[in-house]
Structure 1
Amino acid sequence: MLDLQTLLSAQLFPLLLVFARLGSAFAMLPGIGEVVIAGRSRLLLALSVSLVVAPVVSSSLPPLPASPADLLALVGGEIVVGLFLGTTARLMLIVLEEAGSIISIQTGLSSAQVFNPGLANQSALTGAILMTLGVVVIMATNLHLVAITAIIDSYTLFRPGQPLMWEDLAHVVVKLVSHGFLIAVQIAAPYFVLGILFFTALGVMARLMPQVQVFFIALPVQVMGGLLIFALTLSAGMMWWLSFYEAGLRIYLAPR
């Protein structure tokens, strides 16, 4: 019995704590926590990474609690931290969907709704394209590895067993949402300029030639112009968002 308790304290308990944080974070991380990826695959990946990480962060872990209630509270706190870290990354990805929704309104494509795998729901066509491209860019630039490193380094910021800083967590989420909306508007800024110029020209045309049904002419031109601007600004917009995403992850990285 003593040997079993020693084994539980020395091996399984650190693995359980690390898996609680990593598993909950992996459920939300872009590229890893997508709904199209089987839950068993995510759990297996989280368990594999936990086996490697547990010995590294074992010095930051508290001893095995004496009561089951304390153990449950400790594991629950780790799950909350993992969900917070994964949710912050997911919120930064959703910025692309917000930008895509604004773009679809300005280009006349708001009625074109498609299935968005990043949201597991219907969304604007441009939003689905940008979110899917965002996941591809994350994986291509190895930012998913930066996210995993940030989760591991978070043990220096969110130590297991310490009281959670709920006010600070809420402040981070609110600040991230507000900054993310600003980034979405900045990505869609060229379309605002296009919309103002285009509809101003339509108003002038309607005054000069009232017999012409300008809206029958406007819609094809609006869509084609929007697609042209989309092609011209896509790379710049993705690079701007990518710098925002990387900066949001590096907050949790330990100094090296």
Structure 2
Amino acid sequence: MTLALADFADLATGTLWGALLVFLRIGAMMALIPAFGEQSVPARVKLGLTVAFTLIVLPATAPHIAEPPNETTAILGLAGAEIVSGLFFGMMLRLFIMALQIAGTIAAQSTSLSQLFGGSAGADPLPAMGHVLVISGLALAALLGLHVRVAAYMLQSYDLVPIGVLPMPGIVAEAGVAEVTRCFSLGFTLAAPFVVASLLYNVTLGVINRAMPQLMVAFVGAPAITAGGLALLMISAPFLLSIWSDQFFGFMARPFGPIQ
């Protein structure tokens, strides 16, 4: 009986140690992952989601987890490495939300709607147009099975950075620069229709002002660009969100690789 209890205690210790390491990485990722990691989500919900994803990921990673070390320094080093890895992988996904925020800000500025602020899923207020794009993108991602893709992304993170291994600074810098570049490129691409419409509007306004100097074209054109911007958002939003979701899920399927 004593031997059986000792074996059970060893098994329980190994399982709890593995669960702790997985929980640390998953918890760090959950703080930044779109939809699940928004500041509007209560902390208890985040904790429950972290535990749920830990139970999903643990069986696949348990065979690769070594026995807990005896030194406190080694334990703290492993815990720190898992937290850093989780923050890194979570930040890469958060950049796609920043792309929507950039697109919304540029679009609002181009269509004279930047002064209209709405609510925000994050801490900083966004123009109303950016808020619509962010909330719509999060809703679309959730409808397309974000939870399943997030679980697969978490499992892939262990192939890229094994348990207890700190991400190499050179690789983090190179991957980070590439993904930040992709984020801004995607944001500008999504805002391109509004920038083009603003350019055509200003050119047309300049021609009218040149032909009729006595006409207050600014007062006449301001309502037109505002209404045109809202109409363009209504027409183009489905296509913009489709492009964004393809890029987002393509990255989750192949992290740091070319998106087909």
Which bin holds the TM-score, normalised by the shorter protein?
over 0.9
Deviations 1:181-213 (Å, cap 9, x if unpaired)? 111111111112211111111111111111111
Match of 1:230 in 2: 233
SS in 1 for 2:119: strand
Question: Contact 1:60–1:155 (CA<8 Å) still a contact in 2?
Answer: no
Which letter does structure 2 place at the counterpart of 1:64? P
Match of 2:67 in 1: 63
**Deviation for aligned residue 1:240:** 0.7
Between 34-43 and 131-140, the greater mean CA deviation after superposition: 34-43
Question: Contact 1:93–1:131 (CA<8 Å) still a contact in 2?
Answer: yes
Match of 1:27 in 2: 31
Find the partner of 1:72 among 54, 62, 76: 76
Between 234-243 and 56-65, the greater mean CA deviation after superposition: 56-65
Distance 2:165 2:188 in 1: 38
Kindly, what percent of the aligned residue pairs are identical?
A: 29
Question: Contact 2:32–2:38 (CA<8 Å) still a contact in 1?
Answer: yes
Find the partner of 2:125 among 122, 129, 144: 122
Match of 2:156 in 1: 153
SS in 1 for 2:53: helix
Q: What's the TM-score, normalizing by structure 1?
A: 0.93
Find the partner of 2:47 among 37, 43, 49: 43
Match of 2:186 in 1: 183
**Deviation for aligned residue 1:8:** 5.3
Cα distance, 1:213–1:252 mapped onto 2, change above 3 Å = closer
Which letter does structure 2 place at the counterpart of 1:189? A
Cα distance, 1:187–1:61 mapped onto 2, change above 3 Å = same
**Deviation for aligned residue 1:5:** 6.3
Find the partner of 1:83 among 81, 87, 90: 87
Find the partner of 1:6 among 3, 6, 10: 10
Aligned length in residues: 252
Match of 2:174 in 1: 171
Cα distance, 1:246–1:51 mapped onto 2, change above 3 Å = closer
Question: Contact 2:35–2:142 (CA<8 Å) still a contact in 1?
Answer: yes
Between 20-29 and 53-62, the greater mean CA deviation after superposition: 53-62
Find the partner of 1:105 among 101, 106, 109: 109
Distance 2:165 2:203 in 1: 58
Distance 1:184 1:229 in 2: 17
Deviations 1:88-139 (Å, cap 9, x if unpaired)? 111111101100001001111011112211x222111111110011110110
Asked if 1:240 corresponds to 2:230, the answer is: no
Asked if 1:206 corresponds to 2:199, the answer is: no
Deviations 1:57-108 (Å, cap 9, x if unpaired)? 1112222112011001101111111111111111111101100001001111
Distance 2:246 2:166 in 1: 32
Could you tell me which runs of 5 or more consecutive residues in structure 1 were left unpaired when the two chains were aligned. none
Which letter does structure 2 place at the counterpart of 1:36? S
Between 56-65 and 126-135, the greater mean CA deviation after superposition: 56-65
- Aligned-residue Cα RMSD (Å) equals 1.9
Cα distance, 1:163–1:34 mapped onto 2, change above 3 Å = closer
